[in-house]
Amino acid sequence: MNYYKVIYAVGSNNERIYPSSIKETVWNTAQYHFTDNVMIGGTDDKVVSDGVEVIELTEDETLSLIEEFKKSYPEFTEEELPFLPKKNDELKSARPKSSMKKRSRKK
């Protein structure tokens, strides 16, 4: 896999505007920085690195940057995000219980 650091712009309607050299690229992995307009991505494609907006990375550089990017996101408490399940709660089945009564079989 090939790894790249991509610097993008943000348009007036908050859409990401990527460099034209990666227009047709299919990314297998991507990690965004929370505040900077930077993405670290992995792809099977070979992308031309311009050294400014698209920078080729080694796997070790990529793993290090991914950890740094993850730390850029704020951590929230359970009180700040009450809609999330509690850490110790088990996930409940998404399937609703049937409202039909069980029928007994006649022998």
pTM score above 0.75: no
Residue 81 lies in a domain: no
Chain segment 53-101, per-residue pLDDT in tens: 999 999 999 999 999 999 999 888 878 877 777 665 555 544 455 555 5
Residue 30 lies in a domain: yes
Residue 27 lies in a domain: yes
Residue 13 lies in a domain: yes
Residue 96 lies in a domain: no
Burial 26-53 (b: 16+ CB within 10 A, else e): ebeeebbbeeeebbbbbbeeebeeeeeb
Three-state DSSP class for residue 92: coil
Residue 83 lies in a domain: no
Residue 34 lies in a domain: yes
> Structural domain of residue 63, as residue ranges?
2-71
Beta bridge partners, 55, equal: 5
Under the banding of pLDDT at 50, 70 and 90, the label for residue 102 is: low
Beta bridge partners, 30, equal: 41
Number of domains in the chain: 1
Residue 105 has pLDDT above 90, yes or no: no
Residue 103 lies in a domain: no
Q: Residue 104: what pLDDT?
A: 58
C-alpha to C-alpha distances, 53 to 20, 29, 44, 61, 84, nearest whole angstrom: 10, 18, 19, 16, 37
Total Cβ atoms within 10 A of residue 60: 9
Chain segment 5-63, per-residue pLDDT in tens: 999 999 999 999 999 999 899 999 999 999 999 999 999 999 999 999 999 999 999 99
